[in-house]
Amino acid sequence: MGLLQQVERMTTEEFPDTLSEEREEVRCADGYVRRSPVQPYYTPPGYRRRRLIRWGAAALAALIAALAAWGLYQSGLLRF
């Protein structure tokens, strides 16, 4: 006896037989059979702007660190 039939017997609700429904199957290139609908890809508003700001801040921090290391090396406080 399947799980749905057990729940149906316990609650006296009737559930549709999900295995016998005709569904649209999509076959992917690797052989995977998709049985669920494809979810739309969602990009939140401002995502690209935030990403550019984050990369810009990281580049600025790297530039400041490099300039600080160069300044310390030129002053003689940092030697290699």
Report the distance separating Cα 57 and Cα 35, nearest Å: 43
Q: What pLDDT is attached to residue 54?
A: 98
Tokens read off for 19: 């295995």
Residue 26 CA to chain centroid, in angstroms? 22
The DSSP output letter for 33 is: E
Smallest CA-to-CA distance from 68 within 17, 21, 60, 15 is with: 60
Instruction: With 0.75 as the threshold, say if the pTM is over it.
Output: no
Query: Which parts of the chain have pLDDT scores under 50?
Result: 20
